[in-house]
Each structure stands twice: as C-alpha cells, then as structure tokens.
Amino acid sequence: MDVRYPGMRLRVLALLVSFLAIAGSGCRKAEPAREAKPQPPPPPPRPTSVSDAILNEFVPNEAGAVMVIMYHRIEANRPNNEMNRTPDQFRKDLKDLYDRGFLPVTLREYAENRIDLPAGKSPVVLTFDDAYRSQFAYLDPAGSEIDPDCAVGIMEAFSRDHPDFKPKGTFFVLQGGSNPPAFGQLGLVGQKFAHLVAIGSEIGCHTLSHANFRRLSAQGVAKEIAGGIKAIQAELPDAQVTSLAIPYGNIPRDPAARKACVDGTADGFTYHMSAVALAAWRPTMATIGKVGKVGPFAGQFASGDPAAIERVLPDPRQATKAGTLEYYLKYFDQNPGLRYVSDGLDTVIAVPQSMASLVDEAKVKALDRKLQIYTPAPVTPASEPRKSATGGSG
Ligand SMILES: [Zn+2]
C-alpha cells in the first residue's frame, strides 16, 4: 500500500483535473456561439529580408528605371504614330511588355513607392492623355458593353487571358469647362470614371482647359488644377485625384507656379499631387532615388523626382531614336540590370551594390522599409541559356 499510495494520489489528482476540465468546458458551452468558432492562427511575421534564393534567381533592383508610356488615341483608321496606336498594335504592346516581365501599376503607385508586384517582375505605367473616346467607349448608349477595341476593352481582355496583368492605367482626363465629355460619350462619364476606379485604374488631372503652363502664375496653375479635379469629382464625388499631367509637358518658368503643380489652393479647393508627369523622353528612375543630376545614369534616365516624371512615347517611325517605346523595349532587353525589378516584399527595398549610391536613405526610412544592398552572384556560363542555345559568340 505504501508503495502504491503516491500513484493513487496522482490518479485522484488526475481525476480532479479532468473534472475541472469538463466543468470548464461546460462553462464554455454556455457562452455565446461566437466562442465555438476556431480562431485563425496569427499571421506569420512579415519577412524583413529577401532570401538568397530570390536574389539569385531574380536579381531584384528597386532603384532601377521605369517606363511611363504616354498614349493618346487607340484608333484603327489612323496610322501608328506619336498620337495614335491602332488597337492591334496596342494589343501587341501589351504582349511585348508582358513577355518581358512587365506588369502595369498606376502612376500614383509608382510615385508613392507602392509597387506591389511579385519578385522578378518590373513595373510599367500606361498613361492615356486627353480622354479620347477610343480610350474608353461603350458600344451602346446605355453603357452595358465596353468596345473590345478601345484601350480599356483591350486591357481587360488581356487581363482575362493573363490574370497577373491587371487592367491598370492612369487616365489624364479633360472634363468640365468647355471640354467635350471625357471619353466622348455624354451621360456615361460618371459611369466610366467609376469603372476605371473599380478595375484598379487611376483618374488623373490634365487641367481644366489644357492650358500651357509655361507663362502661368502660381494662381493660374492652381485654378487650372483645382478646376480639373472639381470637374472630375462632379462626376465621381469620391475620386482621389493625386496625379497631374502637365499639358504639352510645359513646366512653368515661375518657381512659385512650379510649386503650385504639386500643392495649391484655388477657389477654396486645396490639392496635393503626389505625381506630376511631363511629356517624353526618358524612362524615370525609381522615386526612392535621389533627385537631380546624380549617379552614373544622369542624362540617360530622368531622376526619380515624382514632381517631374518623364514619359516614353510609342512611335514606330522613330524606333531607333531614344525617346520612344520601341527604342527602350530593345534597350532594356540589352540592359536588363538597369530596369526596376521587384523583390516581392513590401517591407524591403532590395538594391544591387552597383545602384546603392543612387538611393535616398531618408526616403527609405520615411517609408518604414528596410534597405537591403546586395552583391548579385556572378553570372556563370551555365546561367546564360540564351548564349549556349544560339551557339554563343565563340
Ligand atoms: Zn494633352
């Protein structure tokens, strides 16, 4: 008995524990039904560094250059030139970009460093100026069917076939004042604006009267921008308008007017533009970069100034000239290391050592991200399938 006594005491304790457990669970059953739902596990902590595997496979570069493409008309009955892209050519542009690993983001996402793409993908910004009907048209006056040959119809069809390619564009519209209705169909303007926002696109301001800013005063600039935004919000009251395309890309001469392109007030309406687009001619560095003539790419690319974003222009007649989409598609084929490549993490900005000096660390800090400078693994012959596949140069 003496020997078994401690064991019995343990068994009594065990009985007591299980009784309490049953009594406890009984109490829980009496609680409201919400307790019955299993709690989801807490989210895993967000990674704060990019893995070597991702660095080696994709060579991310979040300080690299981005193409912001400037489109105007998308019409079949006009030739391909600097103001028009045929629907078929526009479809080909999307495929050419997609096949090279480019996925669209809005100008706002680019300017505000909110580029959310999988590792290895590069952002491209598709912008559309002047709100031509061929950018967004319905086939019927009731607005029930989108024209499959307009820019929005083409982007949505491409997105259905390639789900990682979102139908995201930035549309710099002309609306209100003495403008015809944006996108040319009276009575459908608000519906079109709402649709653009619903698919992840952005409505940008292109001023009220397509004014030439060159000689305007700060107040003149502010009136044009505030008027443009108010006209958009008259059609879609909660539209967030934070991107501006300066007509003709003509920056004001007056420094105060230049500031008014970003911040201003007119007629009691205050605005802030997080992105200001100019016209052609260069890709623009990531906005995490230093602004001004810095680094090895000064002159070659526009610096990452969100208040002066240069664009590239599709124009097959100038395909061999710097400035066009045709030129830069080839350029980035030959210089893949210069383009922005996502690291896939919104907590980190991964940059190869060769571009580290271009990064503005204060901007990284303001975004609460971690800067990860790394040295890309040397390229070995085995990792150059293109050379060996074509027999190489040897
Ligand atoms: Zn324009």
Least confident of 6-15, 221-230, 270-279, 334-343: 6-15
- How much of the chain, in percent, has pLDDT values that exceed 70? 86
Listed in sequence order, the residues at least 6 apart from 124 whose beta carbon sits closer than 8 Å to its beta carbon are: 66, 67, 68, 69, 97, 102, 103, 104, 105
Q: What is the distance in A from the centroid of ligand 1 to the CA of 39?
A: 53
Q: Is residue 225 over pLDDT 70?
A: yes
How much is the pLDDT for 297? 72
Which residue, 169, 68, 123, 15, is CA-closest to 114?
Answer: 123
Q: What is the distance in A from the centroid of ligand 1 to the CA of 207?
A: 9
CATH of the domain at 87: 3.20.20.370
Q: What is the distance in A from the centroid of ligand 1 to the CA of 245?
A: 8
Instruction: Using the structure block, give the residue that is written with the tokens 């599709």.
Output: 314
Q: Is residue 28 over pLDDT 90?
A: no
In this prediction the pTM is 0.85
Q: What is the distance in A from the centroid of ligand 1 to the CA of 189?
A: 18
Which residue, 139, 162, 135, is CA-closest to 151?
Answer: 135
Q: Does some domain include residue 35? A: no
Q: What is the distance in A from the centroid of ligand 1 to the CA of 311?
A: 13
Q: Is residue 201 over pLDDT 50?
A: yes
Domain count across the chain: 1
Q: Is residue 15 over pLDDT 50?
A: no
Compute the average pLDDT of residues 107-130.
97
How many CB atoms are closer than 10 A to CB 184?
Answer: 16
Q: What is the distance in A from the centroid of ligand 1 to the CA of 96?
A: 26
Q: What is the distance in A from the centroid of ligand 1 to the CA of 349?
A: 34
Number of residues that this document lists for the chain: 394
Q: Does some domain include residue 39? A: no
Q: Does some domain include residue 33? A: no
The torsion angles phi and psi of 123, rounded to 5 degrees, stand at -75, 150
Compute the average pLDDT of residues 91-104.
98
The DSSP-derived string for 11-34 is HHHHHHHHHHHHHHHHHHHHS-GG
Q: Two tokens at 200?
A: 């992840």
Q: Which residue range(s) make up the domain with 309?
A: 63-343
